[in-house]
Amino acid sequence: MATHLLSVLLTLAGLTGIHSITTVSKVSVKAGGSISIPCLYDARYINHVKCLCHGNYWSSCTYVVKTNQPSLSGKFSISDDTKQRIFTVTINDLVVQDTSYYWCAVEIDGGADVREYFHLSVSRGMSGLNVVQQQISGFNRGHITIRCHHSDTGQMKWCRLGKSCVEKQSGSIDGTPVTINSSAPNIFTVTMSGLKIDSSGWYLCAKGDLQMPVRVTVREGPSTTTTMNPIITNRVPDTADRHWSQSIYLKTLIVPLSLLIFIVMVTLFIWWKLRRRKQAKAESSASTKDEQEITYSDVWHVNRTSGQRSHAESDDVTYSTVAPKQHRTVQRQNKVSDDDVAYSTVSIKPKAQPKVEPNVQSVIYTTVTRHQK
């Protein structure tokens, strides 16, 4: 009852300007964010000073920013678009204590200022109505999509500031087709198609008694589809956002790091294979030299005695034993098996001079080396 009475008193207090300025009625913002409020004024006030007044009652409100006197704190700012006859006030770094009534006003020299109020609610949690972005751009003959997140009940609407609204699933505003889709919970999507340059301006996403202003700018260009990402501009990053950012950062590091590890592993494998090949080649060369076969031949002269005669009496016979040896260090055996001994018969023609029987057995040693191919 007290709130309703206060609204009636505010309406009566601002009655003189009710048809001269049009703005939002109630907005909800999360603490730490910012909000821009458009104020549409009559053409006769184009050259007047515009301002924002803060206070529950017009009689006691305080001017916080004017077009001819910018705010020094940076918390408030104001701009005036005389072509569309809209001045915009922006409140930054919102805190819960900023919850209050504010007044869009035009100074009138020698008379009462023209004004219209709106209520700003700042909450620590998510606000009752959020838009995708407060600033959206599109191309001529294209279309744009706006997503409105809400937790409030009531009828949803898409309105142009100071003009008509679309309350059903489809309609048009100033000849621009508008469709509204509310199939997703706590979200309704507004699509404006067939955009024109004249479609530029301030619009209101409304749910119940809450409103959120959205500025649409249409530029000349190719006919394209412009769908805005769901970014809420009037909130600060929370813990989930920070975790998401860290996750993205880690993913960007994992890819090049994995590639570097793969390259190092491939390089080490190739080096290992070359080293093994070189080592095997060296061992093969050394083994070839060590495994060369050496064949020893023992040749000895056998003297005939007077009692010993062979079938070739006129010839001396020399026997030689050829034994293959596997290594130089293998000691010669006194007895050689038949499998390891090769016999050869060497016939020596008798000499003309008389034979001289040597008293000592003569031995001739020869070494035959067989090189392995």
| Domain span including residue 51 | 1-125
Same domain, 10 and 96: yes
Considering the domain architecture, whether residues 245 and 342 belong to the same structural domain is answered as no
Residue 202 to residue 199: CA distance in whole angstroms: 9
Whether 359 and 337 map to the same domain: the answer is yes
Whether the CA torsion 148, 25, 159, 222 is positive or negative: it is negative
Same domain, 26 and 138: no
- Whether residue 121 contacts residue 26, with contact meaning beta carbons closer than 8 Å, is answered with yes
Do 19 and 90 lie in a common domain?
yes
- Pair 77, 173 in one domain: no
Read off φ and ψ for residue 369, nearest 5 degrees.
Answer: -110, 125
Within a domain: residue 151? yes
The whole-number pLDDT of residue 124 equals 87
Where a domain ends, among 78, 103, 125? 125
Of 78, 105, 125, which residue is a domain's last?
125
Q: 47-104 pLDDT, tens per residue?
A: 999 999 999 999 999 999 999 987 878 899 999 999 999 999 999 999 999 999 999 9
One-letter amino acid of 56 = N
Do 344 and 251 share a structural domain? Answer: no
pLDDT at 255: 79
Same domain, 134 and 77: no
Type of residue at 235: R
Name the 3-class secondary structure at 334. coil
**CA dist., res. 339 & res. 341, Å (int):** 6
Structure tokens at 100: 């209050």
Rounded to the nearest angstrom, the gap between the alpha carbon of residue 73 and the centroid of all alpha carbons in its chain is 38
What span, in angstroms and rounded, lies between the C-alpha atoms of 191 and 196? Answer: 14
Tens digit of each residue's pLDDT (9 = 90 or more) over 241-261: 445 455 555 666 787 888 889
pLDDT for residue 118? 97
Strand order in the sheet with 294-301: 342-348, 316-325, 294-301, 363-368
Q: Are 350 and 357 in contact (CB under 8 A)?
A: no
**Residue 69 has what pLDDT?**
87
pLDDT value of residue 15: 39
Quote the number of domains for the chain. 4
Confidence at residue 10, expressed as pLDDT on a 0 to 100 scale: 43
Lookup result for tokens 């705010």 = 71
Helix (H) / strand (E) element for 265: namely helix 239-290
**111 and 34 in a common domain:** yes
Give the separation between CA 247 and CA 249, rounded to whole angstroms: 5
Q: For position 87, which CATH number holds?
A: 2.60.40.10
Same domain? 223 vs 340 = no
Spans of the chain, pLDDT less than 50? 1-18, 223-242, 244, 294, 296, 301-302, 304-315, 317, 322-323, 325-342, 345-347, 351, 356, 358-362, 371, 373
**What is the reported pTM?**
0.56
* Co-location of 3 and 104 in the same domain: yes
Quickly tell me which residue has 């599109």 as its tokens.
138
Strand-by-strand arrangement of the 21-22 sheet: 21-22, 35-41, 86-91, 76-81
Residue 9: predicted pLDDT: 43
Q: How many CB atoms lie within 10 A of CB 44?
A: 11
56 and 43 within one domain: yes
Q: Which of 125, 145, 163 is the last residue of a domain?
A: 125
Spatial CA neighbour of 32 closest among 91, 111, 86, 77: 91
Q: Is residue 78 part of a domain?
A: yes
H or E stretch at 207: strand 201-207
Single out the residue of 190, 203, 186 nearest to residue 134, CA to CA.
Answer: 203
- Report if residue 373 sits inside a domain: no
Those residues whose C-beta lies under 8 Å from the C-beta of residue 185, and which sit 6 or more positions away, are: none
Are 90 and 102 spatial neighbours (Cβ–Cβ below 8 Å)? no
